[in-house]
Chain A
Amino acid sequence: MDVTLLKITALFYLLAAGSFVIYLVLLRDFFSRLSTSLLLAGFLGHTAALAVHFFQPGGYSAAAQFREALSLYSWLMVAVYLLVQLKYRLTVLGSFIAPLAFLMSLGAFASGAGIGELPAGLKSYWLPVHVTLAFLGNSVFALAFGVSLMYLLQEYQLKNKKMSVLQKRFPSLEALDRFNYVFLVWGFPLMTLGIITGSLLARVQWGDYWSWDPRQITSAITWLLYGALLQARIAGGWRGRKVALLTIVGFAVVLGYFLWGGSVFPSRHRGTFE
């Protein structure tokens, strides 16, 4: 049942992605509204899929499996984007988020339908809190990644005096840079809380808050990176290209570990994402 819903969700995300691309080309208000509506429809389907999944026996594991993690993560990412769209009308960003959401939800049903088994000790109420906070932080970073990518594209064009049709679609550099700041400011505390709840769980499960687990190490690295970036922005007056580049690097580390980390550095951490 939840897989069928997930397929419908993926379809809507795909349609939304197509509509966003049409919006980029034609720049008509109609497609801005259509894209957002399609994404919202997908999101509602996704919500239903998650709810069904959550309430079936054992579904409580939330994100014990890669596919469950993908599904939950893309759901949160779309949720955050929809909120941003509501407040700032940043339709162009949707053309980065919608395809990403489509690929993730595709991956979520393409890699099996089972439910991850949880070790008895992990059935703590802290687990969903930890997973949600960590994912939420990373969703916000995904948006920061999107605007930073747009910033670099826009900046490249302006510096090199190569104009393209894309240019008129993008918000100004100043606006994109401000969005980068807003997303970092929101993402960082969420990530911090995710790590704190994570180490609480580690204490329960592994017996220690910190045990040099690869997952803990990569989390610490990205936390330090984003923290330093935020600090440089606020106190050091960093802005623009450098910040955009580092934001992208930070997200690449997170994403890279998410996709391949588990096989390269085996971890005791069950969920595949921070």
Chain B
Amino acid sequence: MREEKILIVGLNHDTAPVEVREKVAFDRTVLTESLRRLHSLPSVEEGVILSTCNRVEVVAASAREQSAFGEIRNFLAAQESVKGHSGLEGHLYEYSGDAAVRHLFRVAASLDSMVVGEPQVLGQLKEYYVAAHEAGTVGAILHRLFHRSFSVAKRVRTETGIGSGAVSVSSVAVDLAKQIFDRLDDKGVMLIGAGEMGDLVARHLQRDGVKSLMVTNRTFERAVELADQFRGTPVRFEDFHRYLTMADLVVGCTSSPEVLLQRETVEKVLKERKQKAMFFIDLGERRNFDPRINGLDNVYLYNIDDLKGVAEQNLQERSNEAQKAEDIVEEEVGGFLRWLDSLDQVPTIVALRQKVEEIRRGELEKSLATSLKGLSEKERQALEDMTSAIVSKILHAPITRLKQQPEDRDEALYIDALKKLFDLEEK
């Protein structure tokens, strides 16, 4: 029996444009069937399909690397031909052995993501693993590989700052709000204007539980419309100054060429608010708020460039942390490969395989020399293949059982039982 290897064939945001990724992507509704098709490929012994908007990958365990690569390539190409025609040539990457293990660990740890450190990919990985597990296409090796990758991801997340720091404008705004305010559920927001960015920030703030939201716009109808969407309160544009005392966060997102709020106005508002802190978020292309208001005590003003600057800085920090994460991945790859190697060195398994193989060969030769003497070369070969297949199938279950729970307390028990039942002697 040959050693099984881990293989990965796939494409991601780096190697293929979205049009190609879309075509190859697997439909969730027929995922089980796709998995079974993958599993039925002659050289594929175990298989998992991973299909997200940023990547489509097949992870497999196979004893015949080259033929498996070919089969999986065709499998993916077939997927694509269903929906259109353009070659996958140049888009696919192939990894085997330690490179494949490293790749999967990096994907799980979000090191291979478009936005490094984003947390979604791990959940998706788990989902697709479970789907494959339920479809029965996962065996001992991929089981162990995926569980290992989940714990690598967890380690990376707790031991490095890869996932920390907001990297989008709206999440930076919310992060800053949380550094100014202890809690958001007693805070009011005033949204001025209907720009897309303002919409996004307001949504994000609402998701984080702000108490109330007022919406104002030059055309009152638009304000009402927006307020409906957010379940907020519409405020007439002419009046919005009067309502500012109730707003702890003020988000400006208009294309107005003139400044909407002067320092003097804010000063008055602050007095009425008894100096309670205010956070102004200026998302206008031309400034909506007087920059001088940042000079007031208890007032914080961030414009879109400031927010982008913070996001940029956080991204930079993430990539610094990524190096630490790469080191962790490297360490874990080593550990996993040692486990994989050790499998085929378990003396009992080796002895069992040898013993059964000896019996098969001995019985076959005996029969071929006596009762089956007149067989043709072709018939002999068929018999050889058939007996080999029987042996492999019978041994697969007990061996996988041993592989599956390498840390199990029962392992010693099983090995002991195996030795006694098959009368094995380790050499």
Contact = CB atoms under 8 A, between A and B. Distances in A.
B275 A238 contact: yes
A208 to B, nearest CB: 43
A163 B182 contact: no
Interface residues of B, number: 24
Nearest to A173: B180
A141 B300 CA distance: 28
Contacts of B40: none
Contacts of B300: 158-159
B180 A172 contact: yes
Contacts of A161: 302, 306, 309-310
Where chain B touches its partner, the secondary structure class is: mixed
A174 B298 contact: no
A172 B176 contact: no
A178 B182 contact: yes
Interface string B177-191: 011111100000000
A154 B297 contact: no
B276 A171 contact: no
Interface in A186-231: none
A257 to B, nearest CB: 29
Interface in B283-325: 294, 297-298, 300, 302, 306, 309-310, 313-314
Contacts of A171: 182
Contacts of B309: 161
Interface size class of A (residues with CB under 8 A): 20 to 34
B179 A159 contact: no
A106 to B, nearest CB: 34
A159 B279 CA distance: 11
A242 interface: yes
A154 B276 CA distance: 17
Given A163-B310, A163-B313, A168-B164, A158 B179 contact: yes
B31 interface: no
A240 B297 contact: yes
* Chain B CB within 10 Å, residue with most, of A159, A161, A173, A240: A161
A172 B297 contact: no
Contact of A241 (B158, B274, B297, B310): B297
Contacts of B227: none
Nearest to A237: B274
13 contacts: A158-B176, A158-B179, A158-B180, A159-B300, A161-B310, A172-B181, A172-B182, A174-B183, A175-B182, A237-B275, A238-B275, A239-B275, A239-B277
Interface of B: 158, 164-165, 176, 178-183, 274-277, 294, 297-298, 300, 302, 306, 309-310, 313-314
Given A28-B158, A159-B294, A159-B300, 10 more contacts: A158-B176, A158-B179, A161-B302, A161-B306, A163-B310, A172-B179, A237-B275, A240-B277, A240-B297, A240-B298
